[in-house]
Amino acid sequence: MRVAMYYKNKDIKVEEMPIPKIGPGEVLLKSLACGVCGSDVMEWYRIKKAPLVLGHEAAGVITEIGEGVERFKIGDRVFVSHHVPCNTCHYCLGGNHTVCDTLRTTNFYPGGFAEFIRVPQINVDRGVFHLPDDMSFEEGTLIEPLACVIRGHRLVKMEPGQTVVVLGSGISGLLQIMLARATGAGTIIATDINSHRLDFAKKVGADFVIPANEDVPSQILKINNNRLADRVIASTGALPALKTAMRSVDRAGTVLFFAPTEPGIELPVPFNDLWRNCINLMQTYGAAPLDIEVAIDLIASRRISVREMITHRLGLADTGRGFQLVTDAKESVKVVIEPHT
């Protein structure tokens, strides 16, 4: 089978690998669509394990089932989660599935940018989800990103009527906006350095957009009746955006840090201001099975319409171009690789 082998962001080669053999409890997935995630192009993180096949936002058709698999059959259309929790450890029992050791060590093989994927038994047990009949494979690639957003909103207790500021209008920021709008946010304000993305932010539900190079907190005060935001979501790990997030949140408000920074970045915290104003700082990583189920329901019901987010559909041979589009962050929103084209 063909795979897109990652060596570095500008060096991705189509190579041949054997189709994986499956064992008891496992399934073989024909990968028909896999999104390029922003984390895929974090070269400082990925290059340490190169060469490898990336891609974790995969949807396709089951072509082979192992002994003992009962919930699925050949021909089923599914989304496959790459990381799954144990559901029994201290963290899982406390509802913190995404810091579970099992979740951080599980994966499918070799990756979504391959024609076929072996799905291990533990993933089959709790990480494979049927796609609704009217949901395309391309839409299925947005399940995992939306599930991560759902988890973040749940943790910060987003409520109707709140003023929400989203810093960074890439794919995760746009999903933040769409979910906030779908769940009754009052005023939604988006920022980005890219005017194209700001236009997209307005299209999917932002009431106001602010270029990130402007004085964002002062603009929020003008928009929001001289009040800062109830919820500030940093959907970028850029240090200037993180500092802006700290200056954009109202008293008793919450800042959600959704994206990682590069290694070694430290964020100065005005502790007395946070203490006196009762400001909450929260972080979120990944998604749990419950978040994935909610994401599927939201996409299937069209409460979150992700089809318009997909700006580029590329064959496996163009995976390198897809990575460049995501790295440049200029004309793309969501890039989807179709391994069999």
Give the domains, in start order, of the chain with CATH numbers.
Answer: 2-142+306-338 (3.90.180.10), 147-283 (3.40.50.720)
Q: Which of 45, 50, 126 is nearest to 82 (CA)?
A: 126
| Cβ 56 vs Cβ 113: under 8 Å | no
What average pLDDT does the segment 152-163 reach? Answer: 95
For residues 62 and 248, give the distance between their C-alpha atoms in angstroms, rounded to a whole number.
47
pLDDT of 329 over the 90 cut: no
- The pLDDT assigned to 330 comes to 86
- Tokens of residue 145, six digits: 């990103």
What average pLDDT does the segment 191-218 reach? Answer: 96
For residues 234 and 37, give the distance between their C-alpha atoms in angstroms, rounded to a whole number.
17
Query: Above pLDDT 70, what percent of the chain?
Result: 100
* pLDDT 10s digits, 107-138: 999 999 999 999 999 999 999 999 999 999 99
Averaged confidence pLDDT in the chain: 97
What average pLDDT does the segment 177-195 reach? Answer: 97
What average pLDDT does the segment 186-212 reach? Answer: 96
| Cβ 300 vs Cβ 135: under 8 Å | yes
Q: How confident is the model at residue 163 (pLDDT cuts 50, 70, 90)?
A: very high
Q: In what order do the strands lie in the sheet with 11-16?
A: 11-16, 2-8, 52-53
Neighbours of 102 (CB within 10 A): 17
- The pLDDT assigned to 109 comes to 98
pLDDT of 93 over the 90 cut: yes
| Cβ 254 vs Cβ 117: under 8 Å | no
What average pLDDT does the segment 251-268 reach? Answer: 94
Q: How confident is the model at residue 282 (pLDDT cuts 50, 70, 90)?
A: very high
Q: How confident is the model at residue 331 (pLDDT cuts 50, 70, 90)?
A: confident
Give the Cα-Cα-Cα angle 153, 159, 164 (nearest 5 degrees): 70
Residues facing 336 on adjacent strands: 35, 313
Q: Where are the alpha helices (DSSP H) in 100-194?
A: 121-126, 137-140, 143-155, 171-182
- Contacts by 41-50 with C-beta closer than 8 Å and gap 24+? 41/9, 41/323, 41/326, 41/327, 42/260, 43/8, 43/9, 44/262, 44/263, 46/6, 46/8, 46/9, 47/8, 50/6, 50/7, 50/8
From the centroid of its chain, how far is CA 106? 17
What average pLDDT does the segment 282-305 reach? Answer: 96
Instruction: Print burial letters for 80-99: b (CB count within 10 Å at least 16), e (below 16).
Output: bbbbbbbeebebbeeebbbe
pLDDT of 261 over the 90 cut: yes
Q: How confident is the model at residue 205 (pLDDT cuts 50, 70, 90)?
A: very high
* pLDDT 10s digits, 60-79: 999 999 999 999 999 999 99
